[in-house]
């Protein structure tokens, strides 16, 4: 498949918890090589959508397709192969507190790969360097890291198996503006260098402006728009206008486009 072709397709998704319906007839296409931002108000199910795509939650209705193949019809071998293609950075990094950074990055390798531990260590150190952490970060425990370093360590672990699909949940939350901007630049550079498809939940208007090719908006229990940011700001949906048309949104959109 070439850049721009659909790599993940969500069709007719229904998600609910008890009687509470989160998504109803939700459709979304994710294109190879893009950075797709996902936004929506509190409680609209942004993380639920990502968890459903990842297979961590089963939908009540609908289907998720990978390269045209429905997940529900995949054999276990195919699902295992798919899992190795998916890298995930959960909110706050979700590192194992009892493991060093190097051991955290090695954890997916131990689960999915058969190789000497010495080679795992070398690969882990390579990933740690790739995300911009210093050489001495590997032996440290998460409690010894700053917030920004924890995010980068979590990203190194997400990249441990050389995925082509990367999912980020609020990657710049809790970072100061400089740290957030540096993390955005890192994601953009890794996406280009490694040929990643990136799906990113974020409330950060600067991130949406700086690195996202398209932005998908969840409202009314479905995706109401999935467009480049400049087109999205002209969408008449009330939530979109309130979100992007407010003072902060207008200030961000007046910035010169980076990249």
pLDDT digits (tens, 9 = 90+) for 48-64: 999 999 999 999 999 99
* pLDDT for res 245: 81
What digits encode the pLDDT tens for the residues 131-163? 999 989 999 999 999 989 999 999 999 999 999
Strand partners, 166: 87, 198
Torsion angle in degrees (nearest 10) through CA of 147, 148, 150, 151 = 120
Q: What pTM was estimated for this model as a whole?
A: 0.91
Segment 156-175 mean pLDDT = 94
**Dihedral angle over CA of 219, 221, 227, 229, nearest 10:** 30
pLDDT per residue over 92-125, tens digit each? Answer: 667 999 999 999 999 999 988 889 999 999 999 9
Q: How far is it, in rounded angstroms, from Cα 92 to Cα 229? A: 26
Tell me: pLDDT of 250 over 60.
no
Asked if residues 149 and 178 have their Cβ atoms less than 8 Å apart, the reply is no
Burial track 171-207 (b if 16+ CB lie within 10 A, e otherwise): bbeebeeebbbebbebbbebbeeeebbbbbbbbbbbb
């Amino acid at each position: 498949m070439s850049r721009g072709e659909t790599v993940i397709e969500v069709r007719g998704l229904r998600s609910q918890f008890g009687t509470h319906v989160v998504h109803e007839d939700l459709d979304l296409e994710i294109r190879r090589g893009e950075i797709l931002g996902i936004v929506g108000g509190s409680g609209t199910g942004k993380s639920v959508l990502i968890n459903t795509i990842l297979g961590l939650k089963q939908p009540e209705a609908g289907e998720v397709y990978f390269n045209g193949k429905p997940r529900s019809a995949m054999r276990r071998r195919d699902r295992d192969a798919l899992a190795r293609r998916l890298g995930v950075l959960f909110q706050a990094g979700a590192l194992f507190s009892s493991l060093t950074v190097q051991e955290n990055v090695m954890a997916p390798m131990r689960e999915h790969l058969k190789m000497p531990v010495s080679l795992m260590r070398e690969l882990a150190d390579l990933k740690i360097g790739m995300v911009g952490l210093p050489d001495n970060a590997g032996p440290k425990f998460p409690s010894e890291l700053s917030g920004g370093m924890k995010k980068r360590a979590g990203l190194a672990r997400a990249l441990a198996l050389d995925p082509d699909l990367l999912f980020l949940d609020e990657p710049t939350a809790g970072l100061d503006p400089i740290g957030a901007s540096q993390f955005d630049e890192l994601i953009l550079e890794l996406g280009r260098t490694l040929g990643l498809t990136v799906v990113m939940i974020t409330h950060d208007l600067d991130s949406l402006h700086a690195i996202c090719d398209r932005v998908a908006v969840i409202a009314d229990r479905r995706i109401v728009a999935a467009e480049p940011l400049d087109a999205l700001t002209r969408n008449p949906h009330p939530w979109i206008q309130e979100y992007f048309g407010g003072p902060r949104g207008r200030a961000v959109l007046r910035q010169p486009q980076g990249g």
